[in-house]
Amino acid sequence: MIVVHLLGHSHIDAVWLWTRDETLKVCVETFSKVLDLMDRYQGLTFCQSTAQYYEWMEKNRPDLFERIKTKVKEGRWEIVGGSWVEFDCNLPSGESLVRHMLYGKKYFKEKFGVDVKIAWLPDSFGYCWTLPQILAKSGVKYFLTQKLRWNDATVFPYNVFWWQSPDGSRVLSHQTLGSYSESLENWDETERQLLTLRLRHGITDLLILFGYGDHGGGLSEQHVERAFKWIKDYSSGDRVVKFSTATEFFKKLDDYAKSLNVPTVNDELYLQFHRGTYTTQAETKKWNRRVEALVENAEKLAVIAEDYGLAYPKEELREAWKKILFYHFHDAICGSSIKEVYEEARRDYEDLAKNLSGVMGAALEAISRNVDTRGEGTSLLVFNTQSWTRSGIASLDISQLKADKPLTVVDQNGKPVSSQVVDIDGEKRLIFVAESIPPMGFKEYRIVEGKTEQHSQTKTSVAETQDKIRLENEFLAAEVDRHSGLLVSLLHKPTGWQVLKEGEQAAVHIFEDKPASARKALDGGYEAVLFDAWEVYIFDQPDGVKFFKLDKPLSVDVVERGPVRVVVSSRYKFSQEGRPETEVIVRTILYSAVPVLYLEIDMDWRAAHKLAKLSIPTSVESEFVCYEIPYGHIYRRSPYSKNATLSERGKHEVPGQRWADLTSEERGLGLSVLNDCKYGFDATPNEVRVTLIRSPSYPPKWPTSGIERWLMGGEPTDQGKHVATIGLYPHRGDWREAKTVRMAIEFNNPLIAKLEKTHAGPLPKTYSFISLEGDEAILTALKQIESGRDIILRLYEPHGRKATTTIKTPPNVKEAYETDLLEQPIKPLPLENGSLKISFAPNEIKTILLRR
């Protein structure tokens, strides 16, 4: 039996060529029109995703909200997606993807009594490999997209498939044969889709999503009349055309999967299109990275502070998360919206940072008040929000301190610790080396005025010759060429390995990135040239790849010579005809006791249709580079390898998160490249390149006046000040042995230093509230449960190996359970003497509930 399932649908962009307020109006207009049509046409079905839109209706149009509830109860209005918005799947953190499902599914369950089973991401720009696990552990069984039709190098070969994560979790998935907004004008196209589906998979059920998106009003009378005509004209003895739901369609796919050999895709779903979205709107991406770290740290500290008299700010944190999640909508975080969207986003991010910093500050105050801080001088508490003991650089704002004499930092034995006063963005800060800060805890240092004795000696130094500047600590020796200002040598002292390829340098390359007619989507025929904000064009130029290497500095200077850090500043200018000059400052920074070389790239970017990459050529080779993805990692073969397949060659720009690693298994040496705000990369077998910035034109505002508007070349994006920090971390062995995951987390989550008044208190001068022992699972989230006061912990196994970890829990915990990602208990866990032993499968995410 052939069954054609007709389902009304309106894909509404949360922001795009309009701002959030306009989207609210679109939702009101669309939902009103669809509800009116449903009242007039019995049997008509419609589906809509995105919890945010329903919450808007609840708050702004309760009349429409109640009408929607009625249609949901009738089974005609289907809620799909389960997430807060239709999110991008490459740029948000793993914990952010979890929160999309947690807050979205919780909202739909509470307000509509619906447990959504279908992930609905028809328009996102690629899908990370770990997503099936996040979906499956959120109670989602199915996944729908249509975007892989837009590939520009190879045809995605499946329409029905199991999509599997590295841990083995899987969801039954559907890549639609048509778009998410069919017109129902061409039955011949439907016959073609039925034939394709039958030949590829032996399946005779077809889902057709019809209607308008965005400002189109969802459904029109013409849509509905055509649907009824199809039902009448094309239903026959062996074929049924009917109104249906996505749930009904996927249940039929479930039945097929019991008897047919449904293929399994055990990989990311990489979109061979829109590769520029990993980089466009660099400021928004940096803010996202910052507030994701802030909200996780705020939750952790707030949970701890609750035991010391501070009420847990649950609603404030939940609202902060919802605002963060809103900007994960694919046209927002990916950089493909109009300028006004990013102006509004900046204001929201600034408010988020202020509010979350306030939550952290209040929590730190509550904890610090309970520490015994008696002793000479001023108490200086250093907090570690991660689940392992760590050492590193602590930084304290001392601009408000009124000290008449030099300040000395001393440890708990009164021994001086190396410190240095530096100027960061006009702020006077004291930096020092903090050692062995306990997990999820703190350690006290003290500040005394005057030199009590000679500072401890460090192995950090800087030496200058006529041609080179050499920076050195106990781990690394780096050389900057005076004539080019570039890093020309990086020695890994424990192994004697010269990291950089001989005769080459780590340098910023600025590429020509003008839209060019060279590619188009294979299914649908969309020209890449139409998608300036979305696409990378450096390989599309008719005369070949063109770039300008920044190697003629205006100045090269040693600007800091302290015991804690040494800094070389190389200053460049880049000129483009018809544009103001771009200034680039590269600061090469080496800290005491830290095995990472920092490259701080400070740009006043004024270029248009240019793209900048930091190139790091290495003296080792590997076909594969490993990248962090949300709650996991992925190895990708270099597209320039002689063994690369056609689809691998299509991955000439790829997404990653806080680190990428190129390791030679043969030599047992590797380089991890860390970053604090970047998401776009590419690699050759001996080079990692981090995409720093690109400046396409903003897309035109709604409504556009035709295709010409898209090609006019309007105002360039990403103008002004941008600062990114890249860390070069050479290591012995692979990234697992080097603890790269921990290093990258520390790179993005500095130690927190706080001055505290002198007082007695029940807490000692060094204390850990929660700690992990054993294999290296990562504790990412510590929060209060959504309903109640119990504690939720989220951990994941990052290395792709079985692991066992023991959690030392707070003293007031009486019971423990493993839960799903929605915080629903699955099974009790044995708690013995305040310890909890947890076993992980490779790449597994686990959620633990601690009952107080």
Q: Are 754 and 380 in contact (CB under 8 A)?
A: yes
Q: H-helix or E-strand containing 303?
A: helix 282-306
Q: Collapsing DSSP states into helix, strand and coil, what is residue 381?
A: strand
pLDDT at position 775 is 83
Q: Which residues of 653-681 are buried (b: 16+ CB within 10 A; e: fewer)?
A: bbbbbbbbbbbbeeeebbbbbbbbbbbbb
The token duo for 170 is: 């899987």
Could you tell me how many helices (H) and strands (E) the chain has, helices first? 15, 48
Q: Are 643 and 672 in contact (CB under 8 A)?
A: no
pLDDT at position 469 is 98
How many residues would you count in the chain?
Answer: 852
208/736 Cα distance (integer angstroms): 46
pLDDT tens digits, one per residue of 412-471: 999 999 999 998 877 889 999 999 999 999 999 999 987 655 556 789 999 999 999 999
pLDDT tens digits, one per residue of 244-288: 999 999 999 999 999 999 999 999 999 999 999 999 999 999 999
pLDDT at position 455 is 55
749/460 Cα distance (integer angstroms): 23
146/124 Cα distance (integer angstroms): 9
Q: Are 55 and 87 in contact (CB under 8 A)?
A: no
Residues with pLDDT less than 50, the chain: none
- Sequential DSSP letters for 658-677: SEEEEEETTTTEEEEEEESS
CB atoms within 10 A of CB 721: 10
pLDDT at position 451 is 65
Between CA 531 and CA 540, with CA 536 as vertex, the angle to 5 degrees is 95
Q: Are 615 and 681 in contact (CB under 8 A)?
A: no
Q: Which residues contact 554 (CB under 8 A, 6 or more apart)?
A: 571, 572, 573
Q: Collapsing DSSP states into helix, strand and coil, what is residue 47?
A: strand
352/298 Cα distance (integer angstroms): 11
Q: Collapsing DSSP states into helix, strand and coil, what is residue 11?
A: coil
507/551 Cα distance (integer angstroms): 7
pTM: 0.97
φ/ψ (deg, to 5) at 213: -100, 175
pLDDT at position 49 is 98
φ/ψ (deg, to 5) at 474: -70, -15
DSSP state of 614: E
The token duo for 309 is: 């008299």
